[in-house]
Amino acid sequence: MKKIEQDLTDLLYRFNFIFKNVEVICECIDDFPEFTILEKSFGPFKRNKKYRLQFFIAEIFVERNVLKIDNKENLNYTDVQRYAIAESDDMRLTIQNNSYFFNKIKEFHTFTKKEVIDGKKHQKFLDNFNSYFASFLDTRLS
């Protein structure tokens, strides 16, 4: 009898790949000229203007302080806290409105970490993010 199975790691990578292809709204924080890579052009980006980009493209510009994710798209420790508290108050698991919620936590944790290193945010923000996420995971795993 043949066994049908899939590698969990592979499935998680695929799921994250789908998340990274979702379009997000970004705001330009520093002018940046147009450039082309593999016959695809990006920019020019003008300060304070908003752009819709796939997450994996926006991520590159966010890391280089050219763009920032719009507040409507952003995720911070208060969002994680809200879900952690909701699940600790009610022992039933809550269904997230965003099916990529955990992917979003992972990606925005990286952004928060960078902002702390760059001195844009206080270490408290990262500590809170880590604390609430640990609480959230603990609730889900118990």
Taking a C-beta distance cutoff of 8 angstroms, is the pair 61, 32 a contact? yes
Report the pLDDT value the prediction gives residue 88, as an integer from 0 to 100: 67
Whether residue 47 sits in one domain with residue 92: no
What confidence tens digit (pLDDT) does each residue in 10-33 have? 877 787 888 888 899 999 999 999
Residues 69 and 92 in one domain: no
At 32 the pLDDT is: 94
Note down the domain range covering 138.
75-142
Which H or E element spans position 36?
Answer: strand 35-37
CATH number, position 45: 3.40.5.50
pLDDT at 93: 60
pLDDT at 5 (0 to 100): 65
List of the chain residues with pLDDT < 70 = 1-6, 76-77, 87-96, 98, 140-142
Whether the full predicted model's pTM is greater than 0.75, yes or no, is: no
Q: What is the pLDDT of residue 26?
A: 93
pLDDT at 50: 95
Output the pLDDT for position 33.
Answer: 94
Question: How many whole angstroms separate alpha carbon 140 and alpha carbon 135?
Answer: 9
Asked whether residue 69 falls in the same domain as residue 79, the answer is no
Same domain? 67 vs 128? no
Write the single-letter amino acid at 8: L
Q: How many domains does the chain have?
A: 2
Instruction: Determine the pLDDT at residue 74.
Output: 72
Amino acid at 118: D
